[in-house]
């Protein structure tokens, strides 16, 4: 993801006000740039870095900013920059592991409007949408919704119906997916490879905004979703040649402590056969909340290995934010 501001999409890819039914400038002004600094000894520092940058979306007039959570996880310092050049500090209110959403409170007036939230439920493949980052029209992309489908991530993450768009926005983290009514329907999360019209192209994956509504008030008041935390294993699994394989383990995590190794094949969870990452995650989560013991059957160099992992709440491993 580029950290510079001196780029722009080609003119034919930028949205034009004459082609919209809503005020484009208001959408642009609801976007902020996020710069976060994370301590070097933070749990996520090695994988996500200590300096992170991306986009945020003002969703309430009192300065609540929605983004993708990995930008602000364990952040010690956050700075928000409005589309009009106003710079204020921010406080990380919440990072929800299940959805991937993050919330920031602006600790000063951004002077930015809130972007109205819609729903991704009615969105269909082929719908025209905008993918909007901080920086006005030159950082806004005319795109299409290329797919809605399940997405499983090796970091123990699963969306039942993620949004996929193309072409790709190069600064996708926390970018806004905006429908033809000018409403927010998703938040940019990843760069992905998409099959489109018989060819492979780069696109983006976004988290549907609908996942925010049931947990928003709890996130604002307690920093948690209100649901019991899912069991975390610290085991990075993926599918390879029809098999489910351990690609790595988190240092000091439950999987490493239980003796799980890279390249182990995952056979079953508590006796339930699993062959895909999604089926593995569902089988683990169905056993109970964080703290549940998770029995696994693995294959290692032709031998059957049985391990019992004492799961944890991943949030307990993360540094807590503090007000200065």
Claim to verify: residue 138 and residue 103 sit in the same structural domain: no
* Residue that terminates a domain, selected from 222, 248, 280: 222
Taking the C-alpha atoms of residue 139 and residue 243, their distance in angstroms, rounded to an integer, is 40
Please say if the pLDDT value at position 188 is more than 70: yes
Query: How sure is the predictor about 67, in pLDDT bands with cuts at 50, 70 and 90?
Result: very high
Pull the structure tokens for residue 30.
Answer: 């609801």
Claim to verify: residue 47 and residue 192 sit in the same structural domain: no
Would 4 be classed as within a structural domain? Answer: no
The residues facing 82 across adjacent strands are 32
Query: How sure is the predictor about 208, in pLDDT bands with cuts at 50, 70 and 90?
Result: very high
* DSSP states of 156-210: TEEEEEEEEEES--TT-TTPEEE-TTS-EEEEEEEEEEEEETTEEEEEEEEEEGG
Would 152 be classed as within a structural domain? Answer: yes
According to the model, what pLDDT value does residue 242 have? 85
Would 123 be classed as within a structural domain? Answer: no
Element containing residue 17 per DSSP (H, E): none
Would 7 be classed as within a structural domain? Answer: no
Angstrom distances, CA of residue 33 to CA of 9, 62, 177, 231: 17, 17, 16, 33
Claim to verify: residue 150 and residue 292 sit in the same structural domain: no
Would 38 be classed as within a structural domain? Answer: yes
Find out whether 191 and 172 touch, Cβ atoms under 8 Å. yes
Number of domains in the chain: 3
In the chain, % of residues over pLDDT 90: 93
The residues facing 147 across adjacent strands are 164
Would 322 be classed as within a structural domain? Answer: no
* Residue that terminates a domain, selected from 179, 211, 243: 211
Domain that holds residue 158: 128-211
Taking the C-alpha atoms of residue 212 and residue 167, their distance in angstroms, rounded to an integer, is 25
Backbone angles phi, psi at 306, to 5 degrees: -115, 130
Pull the structure tokens for residue 238.
Answer: 């993926």
According to the model, what pLDDT value does residue 82 have? 97
Claim to verify: residue 101 and residue 142 sit in the same structural domain: no
Q: What sections of 77-179 are H helices per DSSP? A: none
The residues facing 143 across adjacent strands are 129
Please say if the pLDDT value at position 197 is more than 90: no
Query: How sure is the predictor about 3, in pLDDT bands with cuts at 50, 70 and 90?
Result: very low
Taking the C-alpha atoms of residue 322 and residue 126, their distance in angstroms, rounded to an integer, is 44
CATH for 69? 2.40.10.10
Claim to verify: residue 198 and residue 249 sit in the same structural domain: no
Tens-digit pLDDT profile for residues 101-144: 999 999 999 999 999 999 999 999 999 999 999 999 999 999 99
Tens-digit pLDDT profile for residues 226-258: 999 999 999 999 998 889 999 999 999 999 999
Query: How sure is the predictor about 324, in pLDDT bands with cuts at 50, 70 and 90?
Result: low
Claim to verify: residue 133 and residue 109 sit in the same structural domain: no
* pLDDT mean over 59-88: 97
Please say if the pLDDT value at position 2 is more than 50: no
Query: How sure is the predictor about 1, in pLDDT bands with cuts at 50, 70 and 90?
Result: very low
Claim to verify: residue 172 and residue 246 sit in the same structural domain: no
According to the model, what pLDDT value does residue 162 have? 98
According to the model, what pLDDT value does residue 5 have? 65
Q: What is the mean pLDDT of the chain?
A: 95
According to the model, what pLDDT value does residue 194 have? 72
Question: How many CB atoms neighbour CB 230 within 10 A?
Answer: 21
Claim to verify: residue 306 and residue 261 sit in the same structural domain: yes
């Amino acid at each position: 993801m580029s950290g510079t501001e001196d780029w722009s999409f080609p003119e034919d890819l930028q949205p034009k006000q004459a082609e919209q039914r809503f005020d484009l400038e208001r959408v642009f002004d609801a976007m902020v740039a996020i710069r976060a600094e994370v301590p070097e000894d933070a749990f996520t520092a090695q994988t996500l870095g200590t300096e992170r940058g991306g986009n945020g979306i003002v969703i309430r007039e009192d300065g609540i900013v929605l983004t993708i959570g990995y930008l602000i996880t364990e952040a010690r310092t956050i700075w928000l920059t409005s589309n009009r050049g106003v710079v204020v500090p921010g406080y990380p209110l919440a990072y929800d592991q299940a959805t991937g959403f993050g919330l920031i409170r602006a600790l000063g007036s951004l002077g930015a409007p809130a972007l109205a939230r819609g729903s991704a439920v009615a969105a269909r493949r082929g719908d025209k949408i905008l993918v909007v980052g901080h920086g006005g029209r030159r950082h806004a992309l005319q795109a299409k919704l290329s797919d809605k489908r399940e997405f499983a991530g090796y970091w123990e993450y699963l969306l039942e119906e993620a949004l996929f768009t193309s072409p790709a926005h190069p600064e996708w983290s926390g970018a806004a997916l905006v429908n033809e009514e000018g409403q927010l329907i998703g938040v940019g999360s990843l760069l992905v490879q998409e099959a489109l019209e018989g060819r492979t192209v780069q696109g983006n994956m976004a988290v549907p905004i609908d996942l925010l509504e049931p947990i928003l008030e709890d996130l604002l008041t307690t920093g948690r979703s209100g649901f019991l935390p899912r069991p975390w294993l610290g085991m990075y699994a993926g599918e390879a040649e029809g098999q489910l394989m351990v690609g790595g383990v988190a240092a000091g995590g439950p999987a490493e402590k239980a003796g799980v190794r890279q390249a182990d094949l995952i056979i079953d969870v508590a006796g339930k056969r699993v062959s895909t990452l999604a089926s593995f995650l569902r089988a683990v989560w169905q056993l109970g909340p964080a703290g549940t013991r998770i029995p696994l059957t693995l294959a290692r160099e032709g031998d059957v290995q049985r391990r019992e992992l004492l799961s944890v709440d991943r949030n307990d491993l993360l540094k807590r934010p503090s007000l200065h």
